[in-house]
Each structure stands twice: as C-alpha cells, then as structure tokens.
Amino acid sequence: MTDQTSSLPQVSTMKKSRFTPSFRGKQNIATGLFLFPYVLVMLAFGIGPGLYALVLSFADFSMGLPRYFAAGFENYATVFKDFRFSFTFTNIGEFLIISVPLGIAMVVILAILLQMRPGPLSTALRTLYFIAGAVTGPVLVLIAIFMLDPSISPFQALLKAMGFQLTNDVIYADSLPVIFTLLGFFSGAGMWIAIQYGALESIPTEVLEAATIDGANAWQKALFIKFPLIRPYIIYQFILIFAGNVQLFVEPQILGGGNNLGVGGNVPMVWSPNQLAYNLAFELGNFGAASSLSLLLLAIGLGAAYLIIRWTGFFNIEN
C-alpha cells in the first residue's frame, strides 16, 4: 500500500511535465498570431514613422532636398526660438488642464448613473451618447459654430441673454480651451461611457450585495466600491485622452483658417503645437523643425503616460 500511494505523486508529476510544455507552446503560438497584426501596424505606422522623424530632425532642408545629419541640433533650436512656441504650448496646457479632468469626471459620473438605473432608458441614453461620436472633425466644428452663433442657434435666446450678439463674442482666443473641451467631450464621451459601463458591469455582484448587507446605500457603493474597482480603466482613459488632446489640430485649424465662417479673424492662425508643426513643414518648408516638434509632442505623451503608470502602479498585479 505504501509503494502504491508513494507512486501517485510521481505519476501526476510525470503527466504534468509531459503536457505542460506542449500546452504552453500552443498558447505562445496563439498569442503570437493575435499580436502579429498589431505589431505589424505599429511598426508600419508608429515606430517606422517615428524613427524617420528622428532622422529628419537632424536633416538640413535649406537647399530643398534633405541633407541627413547636416543640421545637428539646429532644428530643435529653431523650434524653441520660434515666437509661437510658448504661445501654442500655453494654449494646449490650458486645454489639457480643463479637458482631461473634466472629461474623465463627466464620463465616470454618467457611467455610474446609467449603471445604477439599468433598463430601456439607460440603454437608449448610452446609444445616444455613442452615436454622437460618429460626428467628428470638420463636421463637428461646423455644428459647433451653428450652435454657438447667436443669430441662428437653437439656444439664441440664452446666448443673447448672456450678452452674446455675434459669433465672435462666443468664439475667440480665450474661449477656445472651453469650446474644444465641449467638442471633445460630446464626440468622444460615448465610447468611454461604454468602456466604463462595461467595467462597472464586471464588478462581482457578491461584493455589492455584501455592501448592501453592511448598510451602504447606492451612492456609498458608487463612491467606495465601484469607483475604486474601475480605477485601472480610469487610468487607461487618462493616458489616451491626454495623448490625444496634446495632438489637437483639426478644430483650431478650421476655426483659425476659416475666414468664411465668420470667426477666422478672431482665432489665431496657429493656436496649437500641431498647427505649428504643420506650418513649419508645409508653409515654411522646414521639415526638420517640424519633425523635431513632433518628437517633442511624442516625448510629452510618453512621459506623461510613464509618470501616471509609475505613480498609480497601473501594471502591479496586486492591484
């Protein structure tokens, strides 16, 4: 009896060692097949262009054609010395301060409210929020101008009551961070609400039931249980919104260059760093300086992501 029982663990160990490597090998192959399309696209449209921009940032374009590594750090100096550099980065900084925390807070609050009252109305509202994301770019800007024009807006009574008589009274340089925040929220909130709603739905019902037994009401469960449990999704949202908003281009480009829209003279032609890069490349022909500025924007996005990941312990397994 003793020999038979002592041999059982050996059989179990032998079976484990025989089948585990094969199973892991199949897992690795499946993982590689799923990752291959993403890696291919990232190399073609992410890392590849980034490396090419790095090469161009040291190139001299004074003769028309690029002379690689002939400019040294001159292109970087050109960017920092440009009189529009501090202006554009101040603008984008103000925009980030308003848009990132406000956008995240509103999305999380709406997702929690919708999840607290499940039913047809909640489903309809989530669908409406999501459909609004189909309107982006130039069309979104035109709709915004229509909504903010005191002469034709459906809210013209409210706008005129606030003292706005012309479009230029509403859309001007100092109001752009708030306007771009509203545009970004209504165009992108639906997707993030769907993500946060899904995160809330994944919370185990046993946890919420235990909180109910302990006497927690709906708001206490939202604040002390739901909000901490969806924290990784909020961090993920912060990283992507920050990186996307740093690259703001379409909205100020249309408003600043759209003299026929009635606001072109009231909005700077170059308002954001991305517009400055576009101006350097396609209006001044200095692709080296434009590449330098694009790499700086990339460094800001990656740096912010790194800091928030380290600060929050985003990849810690214990979290």
Going from the N-terminus, what domains does the chain have, and what CATH number goes with each?
A: 83-312 (1.10.3720.10)
Average pLDDT over the chain reads: 86
- For residue 60, the cross-strand partners are 67
CA distance 149 to 136: 19
Q: What's the pLDDT at 8?
A: 46
pLDDT digits (tens, 9 = 90+) for 242-252: 999 999 998 89
207 Cβ contact list (under 8 Å, min separation 6): 225, 229
Q: What's the pLDDT at 139?
A: 86
Backbone φ and ψ of 164, nearest 5°: -95, 125
pLDDT digits (tens, 9 = 90+) for 154-197: 998 999 999 888 888 888 888 999 999 999 898 888 899 999 99
Q: Are 305 and 243 in contact (CB under 8 A)?
A: yes
Cα–Cα distances in angstroms (integers) from residue 211 to residues 116, 142, 215, 220, 316, in the given order: 15, 48, 6, 9, 26
Cα–Cα distances in angstroms (integers) from residue 130 to residues 118, 159, 182, 190, 233, in the given order: 17, 27, 15, 4, 18
Q: What's the pLDDT at 117?
A: 85
| H-assigned helices in 82-171 | 85-116, 120-131, 137-148, 156-161, 167-170
Determine whether 182 is exposed, middle or buried from the number of CB atoms within 10 Å of its CB (0-12, 13-18, 19+): middle
Q: What's the pLDDT at 318?
A: 56
Mean pLDDT in residue range 113-127: 87
Backbone φ and ψ of 195, nearest 5°: -65, -50
Sign of CA dihedral 71, 77, 80, 81: negative
CA distance 305 to 239: 6
CA distance 136 to 156: 23
Choose the weakest-confidence range: 17-26, 62-71, 266-275: 17-26
Cα–Cα distances in angstroms (integers) from residue 317 to residues 85, 198, 309, in the given order: 41, 21, 13
Name the pLDDT band for 133 (thresholds 50, 70, 90): confident
pLDDT for 212 beyond 70? yes
Strand, coil or helix: what is 67? strand
147 Cβ contact list (under 8 Å, min separation 6): 153, 154, 155
